[in-house]
Amino acid sequence: MPYKNTALKFLLFSLLWISTTALAHSPDFSSIIISKTENGQIVLQITSSLTAFQQEVNYVNGEGAYTSPEEFQDLVLQLFKSRFSLILNNNNTLEFKNLKVLLGHETKIIAEISNLPEEVDHIYLKNVLFKDLHNSQSVAIFLLNGFPKEKFTLQRNNKHELNIILEDENWFVPTAKSDHTPLKYLSYLITLIIGGLLLFLSKK
């Protein structure tokens, strides 16, 4: 029902707003949201506290690296361009246009995504914007049609990376391919046999 869908969307956005606002002043926390506007534009939004952006800019560039809000915004965008990447379907690196930094206690990076594929089955995201901050973590969510509304946390123990595949309208983490091939088992067996023979001959 349309009313039910609208209510669910409102509830989801409300929960996101509450969680983001509650942690907006924490320099350890940031959020990454990719959504679609009413006019069909795909937008990336990265949100964290102003303190987090200031600490990282100062750490990378040194104290006194900027003397105006405009210079600070330029340094933030330089960090973004060098430390944030989003690759779809293993080979499609997304392009970000009309980049903006909205300053405030809750500071945001806003960008338009112009080359989103019609079909997406794999997402690789890396965000090391705040990697030098203690216990830095960011929550990513994709608010796009056909994408499950699931949150993912990027932090130190996963190298601030997200690697997921979309199957049957659900997100899955790809499993590592095993290298225990029959050929490898055969090499182990041959090594054991040769070792056993050498040990036997040495005792003789």
Environment class of 92 (CB within 10 Å of its CB; exposed 0-12, middle 13-18, buried 19+) = middle
Contact 44, 31 (CB under 8 A): no
Residue 114: the pLDDT is 84
Residue 116: the pLDDT is 85
The answer to which of 56-60, 81-85, 128-132, 194-198 has the lowest mean pLDDT is 194-198
pTM above 0.85, yes or no: no
For residue range 3-38, list pLDDT tens digits in order: 444 444 444 444 444 444 444 456 789 999 999 998
Q: What count of residues does the chain have?
A: 204
Residues 123 and 97: their CA atoms lie apart, in Å, by 19
For residue range 119-128, list pLDDT tens digits in order: 899 999 999 9
Residues 88 and 165: their CA atoms lie apart, in Å, by 10
